Chain A
């Protein structure tokens, strides 16, 4: 079965640079979630979109923004990167608010130097 696709898988940036992470949900899934997982920590919710509209917002820094496009893929834009932004960034998708099961993509490992 098709899974969530994320790109790139690895990204190295310097402080103060910008980064864009992409997420392609499972086909027919219309809800996308972004999570950040630091070393030794559990995933922390950042933001989610349903039908191209922001649905929930978590602990996402103001330096980050995200959107969902007409084909349901989503992009997380990160600016003025800081060393503390180094983490795994996961995208998950679900079949809208009808079901609550979220399926995670492989993640993007962001390293800020």
Chain B
């Protein structure tokens, strides 16, 4: 079983809707959680990070973390066609090192 799990999608939402992306992880020692956006053939771009339980908002993006249930989610409000990309969830357990463990990514398609 992969340590970080994501639904591969594609997740299709209409323009202007809320896109909800989910991620679960197995290592209870995980402390830091990241969402990266990756366009095809490009590098991952950090869009959100969250370290504490609860919600964290930045513009149209909201990250939600629930350590008890071992899941982290990303909400994208007012989705735009330019948001169409693969969203990678990444997890870090600093006690095991500073490397990131990625989920397989969820492909998001925002249709005009």
- Do these two chains interact? yes
Residues of A within 8 A of B (CB): 31, 33, 35, 41-45, 48, 50, 55-56, 58, 88, 90, 94, 97, 100-107
Give the complex CA separation of A43 and B91 in angstroms: 12
Interface check B27, CB cutoff 8 A? no
Q: Mark B86-97, 1 if CB is under 8 A from A, else 0.
A: 001000101001
Evaluate contact between A105 and B94: CB separation under 8 angstroms: no
Cα–Cα, bound, A88→B44 (Å): 11
Contact A45 B46 (CB under 8 A): no
Q: Tell me the complex Cα distance, A100–B92, Å.
A: 8
Q: Can you list 27 A-B contacts (CB < 8 A)?
A: A33-B98, A41-B104, A42-B102, A42-B103, A43-B88, A43-B100, A44-B102, A48-B98, A55-B98, A56-B97, A56-B98, A56-B99, A88-B41, A88-B43, A90-B44, A100-B34, A100-B92, A100-B94, A100-B98, A101-B34, A101-B46, A102-B46, A102-B100, A104-B43, A104-B45, A107-B42, A107-B43
- Distance in angstroms between the alpha carbons of A101 and B36 in the assembled complex: 11
